[in-house]
Structure 1
Amino acid sequence: MNMKLADPAKSKPEPNSLEEWLDVLCNEEMPIFSNTAISVHNILSDEKKGATDLASVILQDPNLTVKLLKISNSQSYNPLRHKMVTVSRAVIVIGFEIIRKLTLACSFFESILSETNKQQVNEEIARAILAAVHAKSIAIAAKDSSPEEVFIAALLKHLGSICFWSFCSEQGAHIQLIINRGNYSREDAERQVLGFELAELSACLSDAWQLGGLIEESIKLKANTPITNPRLVFIQLGYDIIEALKEGEDSKKYEDCISKVRQLTKQSRLVITENIKNNANVAYDIARQLGAVDAAILIQNSLDKLDDSDESLVVFDKKQLQFSILQDIASIISGRPDVNLLLETVLEGIHRSIGMDRTIFCVLAPDKRSLREKMSFGWCKGPLGYKVIFNISDSPMNLFFHVLSGIDAFWAKPSVNTALYTLMDINVVGKNECFMMPVFFKNTQIGLIYADRGIHKQSLTEEDFNTFKYFTQQANIGLTVFRMQLKL
């Protein structure tokens, strides 16, 4: 493989130690994934946090949202083909734990694939996806309690290697040169050039990103170490099968893999070999859904399936997305009363289908002097995760008092409603155009929904306002229906 060395005059020096590589990846090259991984860990470790908090993390990144929904709508995760257009619905249908794990995987590849693709990193990604599919297939056949956990752990087992090859320059070229000469193994070449093995980088990244669980066990499993956890055996077999196929289906290594799978699953040789062949197609589809098109080509080695007409893909048209989410809302209203799911879906509909930066539902405090966050999307609240609080002031009258004085939606504009933007409001939300509307239960105001584009500062339109009003009206209609059902 020909690789052009970077011009030192045109690029910054590469990290020279394990610690430097760790710092650069976490804080410079992949800060978004670092934040996502830590946020997901915090949600898992806090009993008070759940599906809404996870959805909020996902919806902060539109690309991550789309990738996650593509996978959620795929045959692997949605065999009954119930189209899911909201993250809230995906969590309900597929389950919190699976969505949490898929969020990590999608966010990781989103960070990696934002860089210029290279041959070596695509080979690493293709290998990881194939191994993960093989491992999951074995786990399913062995009746494992959570094949999805096995899949994600196998997918991220060599994350240090994937990260390194995504962002390296001269060091990567030097390692390849040493390996191609045939004098060193990959691990020996890594130690000679870097002073450490990329497996060590994987372990350090796992600690920094608090991945934990089976992912951490898989990453920190050392070569030639006896494996006592059968789930780690599934993962190791996933990678062994890839290496065995390189030597051919008539090789001893391949037969050893087949024999191990038979012992674990009690399947026939014919079934196992058919599964291995079918797994390549599954891996191809997953690579596409993750946006790793070049890796998908390596997996399948053909372009004939690169057809974006797959019905499982999430709709992108704004009108169609609005219609689909409104159908979800109608289904919620006509079903068993679930106030949280109704409000989550309404908020997500506003946030995604209109294209808002920040969307929030706040409830009135008992003293009616403030509004306190109940659920929100897109709000950057820092590491402490504080709750947003809007103060209600009648002297001077502010935005929130004005809205709660009526029953209609309000489109606030700094150029027109200057007096309503008090200093206290500006400190919390800035001085941006925004949409607001009261929310009612039993004909009594219980809070309001607020939305703006205060991050990207894009203008709002009359069409946006009408759509906002319609979605918030659905929230009020739904709450009225629920109240009537509770009376029956």
Structure 2
Amino acid sequence: MQKQARSLDEWAEVLRAEEMPIFSNTAQQIFVALDDKKKGAMELASIILQDPNLTAKLLRVGNSPYYNPSRQRISTVSRAIVILGLQMIRELTLACSFFEAILSSANKERANQEIALAIHAATQARALAILLRDESPEEVFVAALLNNIGHVVFWCSSNKQVVKIHQLISNSGLVAAKAEKNVLGFSLADLGKKLSKSWHLGGLIESAINHPESSDKRIQTVCMGGRICEAIKQGWESEAMAACLKELHRLTGEPIELIKAKIKANTARAVDIAQQFGALDASRFISQEHGGPAVVLHEEERPDKKQLQFQVLQDITSHISGNIDLNVLFEMVMEGIYRGVEMDRILFMLLSPDKNSLSEKISLGWQKQADSDKFHVYNDDANGNVLFHALYDHDGQWLKPSEHAALYTTQINMSLGRHECFVFPIRVEEKPIGLIYCDRGTRNQALTAEDFSSAKHFVKQAQIGLTLYRMKTHKS
């Protein structure tokens, strides 16, 4: 039975933990990564890759002309970070995660109106930020997108009280804020403030939500996005629009007529952005605001395994043709096996100088208690184990508990589990320096010869890249 929230704190907890757990978890992980200077691209990539829907949405948005004007094809999260930059990917991940959480078949008209307003305001704010030479227009975009988060999340909720307040607003003629307080005992703006704290959104997002009257230039840029949208609703000849244009002229120094033209262009652009994020129904409401019909785009079909493998291999080839970053190379190889071969878990480990232990360098798909929980496997099993047995096999091995029981030692069972797996050594001058381990230990689906061949091909690309890197560094 669904819990009925009665207080502001209860509502915030219901929306945070029950209605939007995916966004709640992702948002907190993103901001932990943002706050930790030691964390970088792979940590962020791991957060994204945990959710296939989020990964697909981010890559679709990242390939759009709005965010990727150079039109360099991006097939992996790792390459998206290289091309678009870590900061932009962090902001886009937060935005995509937000849409992933709120967009569903349950969305009604009012919910889509709120989503439309959020996207439109964010687009206007980002455009203004660019005009004002802001240091991070994407941060402004996300702050404006989430500025009315209390309204958006409430109206997208399936809680029965949403229906009650909707009826009260429609039938009583009360102003929205009064209807909210009559039914809930608080305003949705208050809910937004509470959610921003419970989600630990921090930074510009939380500052703009809690201090909209601040004279801070960036906060005012965020809030101006919403003001522009409200002015458009009241009409181009309204007092609200005149005041808005006057303020924009003061901020930018541009002529009023040019500002009006840019606002209209940004409104049209917001329709396209809404569609890129998958908010097709919401895009129609934005379109109605400037009098034009929205061109409905269909969700982009996800590539099949072979197509995805080919695309990722193209990314790897592009990378090793230029200046090779070994971290990026192995991240792309790992992502290629993880997504392209559809493995549940994958691990890249390095061999210690004394050759007695293997330690985790990169991992994807593992459920860990903390980021500091790194895998370490030691070469102290009497007859070897899964990892050290395969480490010295040139071609890698396909191991099964039913056929290689002795290699699944207590150490392996406790750390990796007892799963069918592929293990491929990584070599330098024919000597092993580490390995890549992968399995389907979450879904427990069988592996195939085709899977082994595909994964082995990605590992070969890692070997080629590693060889080219060594050749280039030795020359210099």
TM-score where L is the length of structure 1: 0.92
Question: Are 1:470 and 2:457 matched, yes or no?
Answer: yes
Distance 1:211 1:179, change over 3 A: same
Instruction: List, as ranges, runs of 4+ consecutive aligned residues in structure 1 with deviation greater than 6 Å.
Output: none
- Whether the 8 Å CA contact 1:393–1:401 is kept in 2: the answer is no
Shift of 1:315: 5.9
Question: Are 1:84 and 2:68 matched, yes or no?
Answer: no
CA distance in 2, matches of 1:148, 1:240: 19
Among 137, 140, 152, the residue aligned to 2:130: 140
Partner of 2:374: 387
Shift of 1:134: 0.8
CA distance in 2, matches of 1:448, 1:207: 42
Partner of 1:253: 240
- Whether the 8 Å CA contact 1:126–1:298 is kept in 2: the answer is yes
CA distance in 2, matches of 1:462, 1:110: 35
CA distance in 1, matches of 2:232, 2:240: 8
Indicate the larger mover: 471-480 or 290-299: 290-299
Shift of 1:374: 0.6
RMSD of equivalent CA atoms: 1.9
- Whether the 8 Å CA contact 1:133–1:283 is kept in 2: the answer is yes
Partner of 2:314: 327
Pairing of 1:262-281 with structure 2 (within 5 A): 262-281=249-268
Partner of 1:418: 405
CA distance in 1, matches of 2:363, 2:423: 14
Partner of 1:3: none
Partner of 1:438: 425
Structure 1 vs Structure 2: percent identity of aligned residues?
47
Among 337, 344, 348, the residue aligned to 1:361: 348
Indicate the larger mover: 368-377 or 76-85: 368-377
Give a deviation string over 1:350-388, Cα, whole Å, max 9, x none: 111111111121111234232111112222212454112
Give a deviation string over 1:111-147, Cα, whole Å, max 9, x none: 1124621222111110000000011111112222221
Distance 1:114 1:308, change over 3 A: closer
CA distance in 2, matches of 1:298, 1:67: 21
Distance 1:74 1:180, change over 3 A: same
Partner of 2:39: 49
Aligned to 2:334, what secondary structure does the other structure show?
A: helix
Shift of 1:254: 1.1
CA distance in 2, matches of 1:459, 1:305: 43
Aligned residues: 472
Among 26, 50, 59, the residue aligned to 1:69: 59
Among 162, 172, 181, the residue aligned to 1:172: 162
Question: Are 1:230 and 2:205 matched, yes or no?
Answer: no
Indicate the larger mover: 467-476 or 178-187: 178-187
- Whether the 8 Å CA contact 2:284–2:294 is kept in 1: the answer is no
- Whether the 8 Å CA contact 1:351–1:359 is kept in 2: the answer is yes
Among 227, 232, 241, the residue aligned to 1:240: 227
Shift of 1:101: 1.1
Shift of 1:436: 1.1
Question: Are 1:94 and 2:81 matched, yes or no?
Answer: no
Pairing of 1:286-365 with structure 2 (within 5 A): 286-301=273-288, 305-308=295-298, 316-365=303-352
Indicate the larger mover: 230-239 or 96-105: 230-239
Aligned to 2:359, what secondary structure does the other structure show?
A: strand
Aligned to 1:122, what secondary structure does the other structure show?
A: helix
Distance 1:375 1:384, change over 3 A: closer
Distance 1:184 1:307, change over 3 A: closer
